[in-house]
A and B are shown apart, each in its own frame.
Chain A
Amino acid sequence: MADLSIEFAGIKAPNPFWLASAPPTDKAYNVIRAFEAGWGGVVWKTLGEDPAAVNVSSRYSAHFGANREVMGINNIELITDRSLEINLREITQVKKDWPDRAMIVSLMVPCVEESWKAILPLVEATGCDGIELNFGCPHGMPERGMGAAVGQVPEYVEMVTRWCKTYCSLPVIVKLTPNITDVRLSARAAHRGGADAVSLINTVNSITSVDLERMVAYPTVGSQSTHGGYCGSAVKPIALNMVAEIARDPETRGLPICGIGGIGSWRDAAEFISLGCGAVQVCTAAMLHGFRIVEEMQDGLSRWMDSQGYERIEDFAGRAVGNTTDWKYLDINYKSIARIDQDACIGCGRCHIACEDTSHQAIASLAQADGTHKYEVIDDECVGCNLCQITCPVQDCIEMVAVDTGKPYLNWTQDPRNPYREEKAS
Chain B
Amino acid sequence: MIDTLNHLPRPDADAAELADRFGDLAPPLNARQAALESARCLYCYDAPCINACPSEIDIPSFIRNINQENVQGAAQKILSANILGGSCARVCPTEILCQQACVRNNAQECAPVLIGLLQRYAVDNAQFSEHPFKRAPASGKRIAVVGAGPAGLSCAHRLALHGHEVVIFEAREKAGGLNEYGIAKYKLVDDFAQRELEFLLQVGGIEIRHGHRLGVDLSLSDLHQQFDSVFLAVGLAASRQLGLADEDGPGMLAATDYIRELRQAEDLSQLPLADRCIVLGAGNTAIDMAVQMSKLGAREVNLVYRRGFEAMGATGHEQDIAKANQVRLLTWAQPQQVLLNDQGQVCGMRFARTCLKHGRLQTTGETFELPADAIFKAIGQAFDGAALSDPLARELQRQGERIWVDAQMRTSIPGIYAGGDCTALDQDLTVQAVQHGKLAAEAIHSHLTLSVEVA
> Does B associate with A?
yes
Alpha-carbon gap, A394 to B106, bound state (A): 11
Q: Are A348 and B39 closer than 8 Å at their CB atoms?
A: no
Q: Are B67 and A66 closer than 8 Å at their CB atoms?
A: yes
Q: Mark A64-100, 1 if CB is under 8 A from B, else 0.
A: 0011100000000000000000000000000000000
Which B1-53 residues have C-beta < 8 A from chain A? 35-36, 39, 42-48, 51-52
Q: Does B104 contact A (CB under 8 A)?
A: yes
Alpha-carbon gap, A350 to B44, bound state (A): 6
Max chain A CB contacts within 10 Å: which of B36, B44, B45, B52?
Answer: B45
> How close is A71's CB to chain B, nearest CB, in angstroms?
13
Q: Are B39 and A67 closer than 8 Å at their CB atoms?
A: yes
> How close is A245's CB to chain B, nearest CB, in angstroms?
35
Q: Are B39 and A66 closer than 8 Å at their CB atoms?
A: yes
Q: Are B45 and A350 closer than 8 Å at their CB atoms?
A: yes
Q: Are A349 and B36 closer than 8 Å at their CB atoms?
A: no
Q: Are B106 and A346 closer than 8 Å at their CB atoms?
A: yes
Q: CB < 8 Å: which of A68, A348, A371 contacts B44? A: A348
Q: Does A237 contact B (CB under 8 A)?
A: no
Given A66-B67, A67-B39, A349 and B46 contact (CB-CB distance below 8 Å): yes
Q: Are A349 and B104 closer than 8 Å at their CB atoms?
A: no
Q: Are B36 and A346 closer than 8 Å at their CB atoms?
A: no
Alpha-carbon gap, A393 to B40, bound state (A): 11
> How close is A134's CB to chain B, nearest CB, in angstroms?
38
Q: CB < 8 Å: which of B36, B45, B46 contacts A67? A: B36
Residue of B nearest to A371 (CB): B51
Alpha-carbon gap, A372 to B100, bound state (A): 13
> How close is B417's CB to chain A, nearest CB, in angstroms?
26
Max chain B CB contacts within 10 Å: which of A68, A348, A353?
Answer: A348
Contacts of B47 in A (CB 8 A): 348-349
Q: Does B103 contact A (CB under 8 A)?
A: yes
Contacts of A67 in B (CB 8 A): 35-36, 39
> How close is B86's CB to chain A, nearest CB, in angstroms?
26
Contacts of B39 in A (CB 8 A): 66-67
Alpha-carbon gap, A73 to B67, bound state (A): 21
> How close is A218's CB to chain B, nearest CB, in angstroms?
16
> How close is A309's CB to chain B, nearest CB, in angstroms?
32
Max chain A CB contacts within 10 Å: which of B36, B42, B51?
Answer: B42
Contacts of A373 in B (CB 8 A): 46
Q: Are B35 and A348 closer than 8 Å at their CB atoms?
A: no
Contacts of B36 in A (CB 8 A): 67
Q: Mark B46-62, 1 if CB is under 8 A from A, else 0.
A: 11100110000000000
Contacts of B45 in A (CB 8 A): 348-350, 352-353, 365
Q: Mark A340-365, 1 if CB is under 8 A from B, else 0.
A: 00000011111011000000000001
Residue of B nearest to A347 (CB): B103
Given A66-B39, A67-B36, A67-B39, A346 and B104 contact (CB-CB distance below 8 Å): yes
Alpha-carbon gap, A373 to B44, bound state (A): 11
Residue of A nearest to B106 (CB): A346
Contacts of B35 in A (CB 8 A): 67-68
Contacts of A372 in B (CB 8 A): 48, 51
Q: Given contacts A353-B45, A365-B45, could you give 13 more A-B pairs where the C-beta distance is less than 8 Å? A: A66-B67, A67-B39, A347-B44, A347-B48, A348-B44, A348-B47, A349-B44, A349-B45, A352-B46, A365-B46, A371-B48, A372-B48, A393-B42
7 contacts between A and B (CB under 8 A): A67-B35, A348-B44, A350-B43, A352-B45, A352-B46, A365-B46, A393-B42
